[in-house]
Amino acid sequence: MADKTISIRTDTTSRITLSLTDIHLKVQKPTRSNPTAHHNIPHRNILKATLEDGSHTLRISYLEKKKRKPMHQVVVEGTVEEAERTRAAEWVETVMAAAYENLGVKRCRRFMVLVNPFGGQGKGATIFNKKIRLVLETAGCPSEIIYTTHQGHAQEIARTLTLDDYDAVVTVSGDGLIHEVLNGFAEHPESKRALGIPIAPIPTGSGNALSLNLLGIEDGFDVLVATLNAIKGKPMKVDLFSVIQGGKRTISFMSQAVGLIAEVDLGTEHLRWMGDARFTCGLLWEIMKFKPCPVQLSFKLAENDKDKMAATVHANRNRAGSSASSGSSASSAELEDEEHDSLPPLKYLESSSDDWTTLDDEVLYVYAGQGPYVNRDWMAFPVSSPNDGLIDIAAMSRSSRGDLISLMDGATKGTSFWHPKVHYIKAHAYRIKPLKKKGFFAVDGESLPFEEFQVEVHKGLGTFLSPYGYYAAKFEPRTPSVDPRKESSKH
């Protein structure tokens, strides 16, 4: 193996020492005021190391994040002595192996990049061209780039995608484009195989919940952290949902909402220019109106003990973290109907209601889905796991505006989960029957008719790229000050 330390000379005749350790690249740039100044770069952040034949220029590119500033690209380069040429070439290859193969990551992933220039505040194309494209090129990732021109365009592309040509699909947009890609994959001639193509979101839309869930609240809006996840992330199997309404089947990856939450989501479309703030404005307006949600909720129950769910999510997260660090992923035996290359059959469409539970309370909303964060201000599903084969359902009983306002206190930390007026359950499937004609129904933020529908879960049907192998949300357990006798989590 090559020596793990090498020295290069810059244009200013100063020297930079590069040392590769087991966990990071140490870049030493001595200055007069600080002769030992250095930066430690994790192997995962290294994009490329090269050595030019003619000039003997050694160049190394990496991504660096300082404190609370956004991640940025750094290039360090200098010349090596002629006598060091062979050793430098070996050193470069050692660095590249540490940055990719030793992490279980393929070099130069091939991407289909879908850029939505209209989403959110309309800056998707600008952000891609100014920040993201250069990082992908530096990492040597061949990318076919398509700028979407109309609603449903990404779905059309995914429906006919040549699967062998790409290692992942990168979406430069919000959650809406991911919804389109997944539904396009569901219509692909090889739908099961298509849904196995990993998706990596880069957040430039008004709703970026998936990015928050994959990267965490601190990094969920950092486009270069998300780009690094596309380059270095590991495939993570995730549950998908079939929404069946009027004989039509729609794939959902994030959420379904009726009542107040759907009205907040769909009723603020004209405020997309505000980014995430539109949801806060919409919520305040809906609290003032305080309308009940005229629906009947029935579900096939899996769990409704809140303490048990909170304990289970921690155990699942630790187990998933161990699998991610060892490079393992969900086995084919863990997935549904792996022998078929079509969508899984619907299990509960004709199911008897005998073993289903109906919630009798009048509610303000029913919110179902997966992924802890639904936006940066609300961890609505804090005990959600990527592939437990269940859907999380939260329904708030109608009580008072004060209760609704208190629900938002600590919402960023998921404390609404413990609210005594929130029924929170995990289910295999659920049904909604509207009791009035008018209302809103949102699926992954997209509007569907306010009509009767049913949802069921498909374990591990989808695939996202993840740096951790689990949802990056920190959910605090129940505090001792909460009296369990006063907090009803049962039906």
CB 240 within 8 A of CB 195: yes
> Which of 74, 103, 132 corresponds to the end of one domain?
103
> Which of 184, 213, 232 corresponds to the end of one domain?
232
Q: Are residues 286 and 311 in the same domain?
A: yes
Is the backbone of residue 275 left (phi > 0), alpha (psi -120 to 50) or beta? left
Q: What pLDDT, on the 0 to 100 scale, is given for residue 31?
A: 73
Is residue 433 situated within a structural domain? yes
Give me the number of domains the chain comprises.
3
Find the domain containing 276 and state its range: 239-320+346-458
Q: Are residues 299 and 429 in the same domain?
A: yes
Name the CA dihedral angle for 163, 470, 370, 464, rounded to a multiple of 10 degrees: -10
Tokens representing 444?
A: 């992954």
Is the backbone of residue 18 left (phi > 0), alpha (psi -120 to 50) or beta? beta
CA 185/CA 444 separation, integer angstroms:
16
Is residue 334 situated within a structural domain? no
CA 445/CA 370 separation, integer angstroms:
13
Is residue 275 situated within a structural domain? yes
Q: Are residues 388 and 453 in the same domain?
A: yes
Is residue 361 situated within a structural domain? yes
Q: Are residues 401 and 254 in the same domain?
A: yes
Is residue 491 situated within a structural domain? no
CATH code of 423's domain: 2.60.200.40
Q: Are residues 223 and 284 in the same domain?
A: no
Q: Are residues 84 and 152 in the same domain?
A: no
Tokens representing 73?
A: 């690209």
State the burial class of residue 12 (Cβ atoms within 10 Å of its Cβ: 0-12, 13-18, 19+): exposed
Q: What pLDDT, on the 0 to 100 scale, is given for residue 286?
A: 61
Q: Are residues 297 and 374 in the same domain?
A: yes
Q: What pLDDT, on the 0 to 100 scale, is given for residue 318?
A: 74
Please, what is the Cα angle at 128 between 119 and 40, to 5 degrees?
125
Q: Are residues 312 and 431 in the same domain?
A: yes
Whole-angstrom CA distances from 40 to 27, 28, 33, 63, 229 are 6, 9, 19, 11, 19
Name the CA dihedral angle for 276, 278, 279, 280, rounded to a multiple of 10 degrees: 100
If you compute the radius of gyration of the chain from its CA atoms, what whole number of angstroms results?
A: 25
Q: What pLDDT, on the 0 to 100 scale, is given for residue 93?
A: 98
Which residues contact residue 5 at a Cβ distance below 8 angstroms, ignoring those fewer than 6 apart? Answer: 17, 18, 19, 20
CA 126/CA 132 separation, integer angstroms:
10
Is the backbone of residue 236 left (phi > 0), alpha (psi -120 to 50) or beta? beta
Q: What are the mean pLDDT values of the chain's consecutive 10-residue runs (491 residues total)?
A: 79 86 92 79 98 93 92 96 94 98 98 91 91 98 98 98 98 97 98 98 93 97 98 98 97 96 72 59 64 92 96 81 51 45 88 85 95 94 97 92 81 92 97 94 94 98 98 80 49 50
Q: Are residues 176 and 263 in the same domain?
A: no
Is residue 467 situated within a structural domain? no
Which residues contact residue 216 at a Cβ distance below 8 angstroms, ignoring those fewer than 6 apart? Answer: 472, 473
State the burial class of residue 187 (Cβ atoms within 10 Å of its Cβ: 0-12, 13-18, 19+): middle
Q: What pLDDT, on the 0 to 100 scale, is given for residue 330?
A: 43
Is residue 326 situated within a structural domain? no
Q: What pLDDT, on the 0 to 100 scale, is given for residue 332?
A: 38
Q: What pLDDT, on the 0 to 100 scale, is given for residue 269?
A: 58
Is residue 421 situated within a structural domain? yes
Q: Are residues 436 and 406 in the same domain?
A: yes
State the burial class of residue 480 (Cβ atoms within 10 Å of its Cβ: 0-12, 13-18, 19+): exposed
> Of 117, 327, 129, 135, which Cα lies nearest the Cα of 230?
135
Q: Are residues 382 and 447 in the same domain?
A: yes
> Which of 167, 197, 232 corresponds to the end of one domain?
232
Q: Are residues 200 and 70 in the same domain?
A: no
Q: What pLDDT, on the 0 to 100 scale, is given for residue 262?
A: 86
CATH code of 41's domain: 2.30.29.30
CATH code of 210's domain: 3.40.50.10330
